[in-house]
């Protein structure tokens, strides 16, 4: 199952985990030291919703931002 919103097309994107050690200079330390970065995945908040598509109820995968903004009309 693809993690992609059927309305806006929002999907997973990759990023990095950046571990930091030490106290920041701003807080009186000698500065932060960055460790080895590893890849991670940012996943969207996607839910399955029964919605009206062209007048017929269908189950679609929608991100919660599209639900909140009213782009999708849920079927009760």
Ranges of the chain whose pLDDT falls below 50: none
Please indicate, yes or no, if residue 7 is contained in any of the structural domains. no
d(CA 40, CA 3): 15
Domain that holds residue 65: 13-69
Q: Which residues pair with 13 in a beta bridge?
A: 42
Predicted pLDDT at 4: 96
Domains of the chain: total = 1
Instruction: Please give the span between the terminal C-alpha atoms of the chain, in angstroms, as a whole number.
Output: 24
Please indicate, yes or no, if residue 1 is contained in any of the structural domains. no
Predicted pLDDT at 1: 58
Please indicate, yes or no, if residue 2 is contained in any of the structural domains. no
**DSSP state at residue 29:** S
Q: Which of 51, 47, 49, 55 is nearest to 75 (CA)?
A: 51
Angstrom distances, CA of residue 65 to CA of 37, 39, 68, 72, 76: 30, 25, 5, 10, 19
Please indicate, yes or no, if residue 17 is contained in any of the structural domains. yes
Please indicate, yes or no, if residue 3 is contained in any of the structural domains. no
Please indicate, yes or no, if residue 24 is contained in any of the structural domains. yes
């Amino acid at each position: 199952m693809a993690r992609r919103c059927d309305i806006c097309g929002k999907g997973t994107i990759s990023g990095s985990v950046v571990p930091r050690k030490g106290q920041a200079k701003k807080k009186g330390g000698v500065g932060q030291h960055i460790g080895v970065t590893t890849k991670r995945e940012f996943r969207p908040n996607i839910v399955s919703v029964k919605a009206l598509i062209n007048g017929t109820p269908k189950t679609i995968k929608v991100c919660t931002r599209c639900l909140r903004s009213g782009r999708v009309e849920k079927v009760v």
